[in-house]
Amino acid sequence: MALVFWGCTMTTKMKYSRLFTGVVMAMLLLVPASASAVAVCSLCIVEVQSQGINSAAEDYIVVANNTSVPYDTTGVALKYYTAAGNNTTSRNIALSGSLPARSSMVFVSAGLATANPTARQFPSGLALYDAGGSLELVTGSTIMDRVSWGVVTDPLRSATPGPVHSKGASLTRKHSALGFLDSDNSSADFEAVWHACSGLSINEIQPFAVGLEGEDILPGLELVKYSNAVLDIDCPILINGVKYFVAAGDLQATPSIIIINNVLDNLGDVLDLSLLVDAPNTVQLISGSFYGDLALPITSTLTLQPVLSDGQTYAFFVSSWKPTYSPTLGSSNKLSTVLVLPTDPPPTVPPDACTDVKLNEMLPNPTGDDTGNEWIELIGLTDKPSFLGDCGVQVITPTTTTTYAFGPDQFIDANGLDSFTEFSDGVSMRTLTLRNSDTNTISFGRIENDQFVPIQTVQYKDAPEGQSWARFSDGWKWVANPTKNLSNTTQTTEDEDPSPTEFPAPPPPVSPPPTVLPASPISIVELLPNPASPQTDEADEYLELFNPTNVAVDLTGYKVQTGYTYSYSVTLQNQTIPANGYLVIKSGNTSLSLANAGGQAHLLDPAGNIISTTDVYTDAPEGQAWALVDDVWKWTGSPTVGATNIYSDPVLTAVTTKASKATKATKAVKAVSTKKPATAGNVSEQNGRELPNEPAPLHFGVLAGVGALAVGYAVYEYRKDLANRIYQFRRYRKARRATRSQSTGR
């Protein structure tokens, strides 16, 4: 039994419920009965919750005495009817005792009993249906009050049902200065209203007041605000068993992640946040009913923070709380299981061979067919060979950006010139493609952690057919007669471009990468880059998103990007991820494409901010998923589409590395076998069993011809490598002769 308010607005009632006194009631009692023609009730139902935040067993009913004198409730009962009007008498709720003036009594289902030990409990088996139902307050055969909500099909109770309510809200009776309204019309008398703390969750706990280096820091709690957050009502919070309040003013801060350093007590005084350092802390957001003073936990269990080591906070990661050595109050949580102390900055890395090479000439528009005939020429600037294993070339056109990598054994001779039409990174061959029209940018540089870093950048515009773009001491010029692998000559054309054509690193400014924001709860939790047969890349690759919140999220405008350079992109439209649920994006019905030879993925919100990023993966094993398990990305042999990730040791078999994305779209059609089944006349006997006849051996001349073709193709394919090896052999032989001559005196 508890006192309730009359005569206050809903917001004011919640903000000042802790300061309520009999003075307010006395003032209200002075209002004469004739002051308003509004009908009010005597003993009536004032609040109903048919679904809770954590479970279906969080129903409650509040009954209030709306008069100025005590009310004897003997013989009064609550009756619940389903939408169709069904009622089981044994599940009626009998009231008892005298209810003081202007006060209430509450009844709760099992899910709220622990948080409200003094409240009366529902009879076993009684549960209010979310989508529709009716409650009557009766004495004998007389109906004293009735409320219905949602879709009610019983003609006796379906005339004026009130609205249904969402999780985190309740169906609440309106009131005037005289008391609770009673027009016998549920839709007019009741409204669905959000509770305090709805749309909030605790995200990180920082109990320490002293940092690792002895500096003063403020103990704090980090709260996340979602789109449905109620921000104009003080939010009750339970800290180590004591009830405090987070001020509405603190909740109204602009960021979606806010830091709380102090709270209000029951009298409204401001207190420092009281968190224990050498003992566990329990923290829980506790909403409250509008009438009856019920505690409504935002989460089903207390957040139990264990004793932390110096430098740790306690933070929430996807599905569980963990200690971390990376405090991130105010930003995205980061898991660090080992304390890393600040160290001196790493030494400067000396320049590599990429700085000893320059772009010297290029042919974007050869006479005739362009494919396979375009080239770029590099020049070595030192008196020793320059190895290109860490270097690359990037081609930027108005519509595309392409990066070409060199193989680990490719090099340019000392002060030498070498041209390139194809590029081999040791895995695949790629043919150089240069654009003829518009302004195009060519850069030479190094590749660091799969990112291209330009050293020299050159631009050309509208390449003339058959002319090369060549480097001279006074700039780049079009040359009528290309000088491939030779020193550039000044046979220039009449139409020269006087504008600057070469730029130092970095290249012309590009748009900065999207800013990573910490607030969104949606995250990537699983990838399947390389489905096992009979599944295919084109139909069965998938990326899985997870929503850890209690509300569904509209993902329209969100974008998924994949690949080492995020060159593949999928923009979501009309997609909603359910509360505490998953959304699976498949290659079969979207443009999703996941690289088999390595990559990663990230998720962007509609503003272009990165909100979730996977770890980088290398060659994708066939049939295995790249999954976030216990906050660690790892390969698992048990993909779980639309379900909680699980880890199982992958079968130890050879990893099948399939073609890269560049070749998936142009796979050769496999030859279809024309072998016929063995017939009765096409078998031989061996050890009493019938076996297919052995095919006749191939003629020696056929084998010799095939071998000669294979050797010839290998010589052509690896001609550059053979030339490099011959050059090295000659240099080593010359050096050995010189050494032998010195030792023998010859």
Residue 544 confidence (pLDDT) above 60? yes
Asked whether 445 and 430 are in contact (CB, 8 A), the reply is: no
Q: What are the tokens at 335?
A: 């898991």
319 pLDDT band, cuts 50/70/90, is confident
Backbone angles phi, psi at 427, to 5 degrees: -115, -45
- Distance separating alpha carbons of residues 36 and 31, to the nearest angstrom: 10
Lowest mean pLDDT among 201-210, 408-417, 506-515: 506-515
Identify the CA nearest to 620 among candidates 539, 544, 545, 526.
526
- Distance separating alpha carbons of residues 624 and 617, to the nearest angstrom: 12
Q: What are the tokens at 123?
A: 């009879």
Burial 406-434 (b: 16+ CB within 10 A, else e): bbeebbbeeeebbbbeebbbeeeebebeb
Report how far Cα 285 is from the mean position of its chain's Cα atoms.
25
Which segments of 405-544 does DSSP mark as H helices, in order?
537-540
- Distance separating alpha carbons of residues 309 and 325, to the nearest angstrom: 9
Lowest mean pLDDT among 25-34, 502-511, 546-555, 704-713: 25-34
Residue 694 confidence (pLDDT) above 80? no
| Integer angstrom CA distances of residue 140 from 17, 73, 78, 105 | 35, 12, 11, 20
Backbone angles phi, psi at 285, to 5 degrees: -75, 130
Lowest mean pLDDT among 285-299, 559-573, 658-672: 658-672
Greatest mean pLDDT among 631-635, 689-693, 710-714, 735-739 lies in 631-635
Residue 396 confidence (pLDDT) above 70? yes
Mean predicted lDDT score pLDDT of the chain: 79
Lowest mean pLDDT among 154-158, 359-363, 534-538, 661-665: 661-665
The confidence score (pLDDT) of residue 505 equals 52
513 pLDDT band, cuts 50/70/90, is low
By residue count, the chain amounts to 746
The confidence score (pLDDT) of residue 717 equals 54
Residue 48, classed as helix, strand or coil, is strand
Rounded mean pLDDT of 643-650? 86
More confident residue, 5 or 238: 238
The confidence score (pLDDT) of residue 526 equals 96
The confidence score (pLDDT) of residue 70 equals 95
Q: Tokens 């020793």 — which residue? A: 384
- Distance separating alpha carbons of residues 602 and 614, to the nearest angstrom: 6
Other CB atoms closer than 10 Å to residue 506's CB: what's the count? 13
Residue 117 confidence (pLDDT) above 60? yes
- Distance separating alpha carbons of residues 14 and 66, to the nearest angstrom: 19
The confidence score (pLDDT) of residue 359 equals 93
What lies within 8 Å, CB to CB, of 310 at 6+ separation is: 208, 212
Q: What are the tokens at 728?
A: 């090295």
Asked whether 132 and 161 are in contact (CB, 8 A), the reply is: yes
Helix axes 719-744, 700-717, angle to 10 degrees: 80
- Distance separating alpha carbons of residues 669 and 673, to the nearest angstrom: 12
| Integer angstrom CA distances of residue 66 from 69, 200, 292, 297, 355 | 9, 33, 13, 28, 86
Identify the CA nearest to 164 among candidates 135, 193, 132.
132
Residue 212 confidence (pLDDT) above 90? no
The confidence score (pLDDT) of residue 10 equals 37
Asked whether 545 and 539 are in contact (CB, 8 A), the reply is: no
Strands 103-108 and 120-121, bridge-based pairing: parallel
- Distance separating alpha carbons of residues 630 and 319, to the nearest angstrom: 8
Q: Tokens 């056109």 — which residue? A: 397
Other CB atoms closer than 10 Å to residue 243's CB: what's the count? 16
108 forms bridges with which residues in the sheet? 60, 121
Residue 715 confidence (pLDDT) above 50? yes
In the chain, what is the straight-line distance between the N-terminal and C-terminal CA atoms, in Å?
A: 115
Report how far Cα 381 is from the mean position of its chain's Cα atoms.
47
634 pLDDT band, cuts 50/70/90, is very high
> Counting Cβ atoms within 10 Å, is residue 190 exposed (0-12), middle (13-18) or buried (19+)?
buried
The confidence score (pLDDT) of residue 351 equals 54
- Distance separating alpha carbons of residues 120 and 118, to the nearest angstrom: 7
Identify the CA nearest to 256 among candidates 235, 227, 218.
227
- Distance separating alpha carbons of residues 196 and 178, to the nearest angstrom: 25
Amino acid at 116: N
The confidence score (pLDDT) of residue 64 equals 94
Asked whether 423 and 430 are in contact (CB, 8 A), the reply is: yes
Burial 117-143 (b: 16+ CB within 10 A, else e): eebbebeeebbbbbebbbbbbbeeeee
Q: How many CA atoms lie within 13 A of 617 on its CB side?
A: 29
The confidence score (pLDDT) of residue 88 equals 62
Percent of the chain with pLDDT over 90: 37
The confidence score (pLDDT) of residue 740 equals 46
- Distance separating alpha carbons of residues 220 and 273, to the nearest angstrom: 7
Q: What is the CA radius of gyration of the chain?
A: 38
The confidence score (pLDDT) of residue 426 equals 63
Percent of the chain with pLDDT over 70: 74
Residue 115 confidence (pLDDT) above 70? yes
Residue 345 confidence (pLDDT) above 80? no
- Distance separating alpha carbons of residues 311 and 268, to the nearest angstrom: 32
242 pLDDT band, cuts 50/70/90, is very high
More confident residue, 425 or 164: 164
Lowest mean pLDDT among 361-365, 544-548, 673-677: 673-677
Residue 453 confidence (pLDDT) above 70? yes
What lies within 8 Å, CB to CB, of 592 at 6+ separation is: 541, 542, 543, 560, 562, 568, 570, 585, 586
Rounded mean pLDDT of 341-370? 78
Residue 280 confidence (pLDDT) above 50? yes
* pLDDT tens column, 701-713: 656 666 667 666 6
The confidence score (pLDDT) of residue 669 equals 32
Identify the CA nearest to 485 among candidates 461, 468, 509.
468
65 pLDDT band, cuts 50/70/90, is very high
Taking 3-state DSSP, the helix, strand and coil percentages for the chain, each rounded to the nearest 5, stand at: 10, 35, 55
- Distance separating alpha carbons of residues 217 and 310, to the nearest angstrom: 12
Q: What are the tokens at 592?
A: 């999703």
The confidence score (pLDDT) of residue 560 equals 93
pTM: 0.44
Residue 156 confidence (pLDDT) above 80? no
- Distance separating alpha carbons of residues 60 and 165, to the nearest angstrom: 13
Residue 342 confidence (pLDDT) above 50? yes
More confident residue, 691 or 344: 344
More confident residue, 463 or 521: 463
714 pLDDT band, cuts 50/70/90, is low
Lowest mean pLDDT among 46-55, 171-180, 664-673: 664-673
Sheet strands (E) in 298-388: 303-305, 313-317, 320-324, 357-363, 375-380, 386-387
Sign of CA dihedral 308, 314, 318, 319: positive
H or E segment at 271? strand 270-272
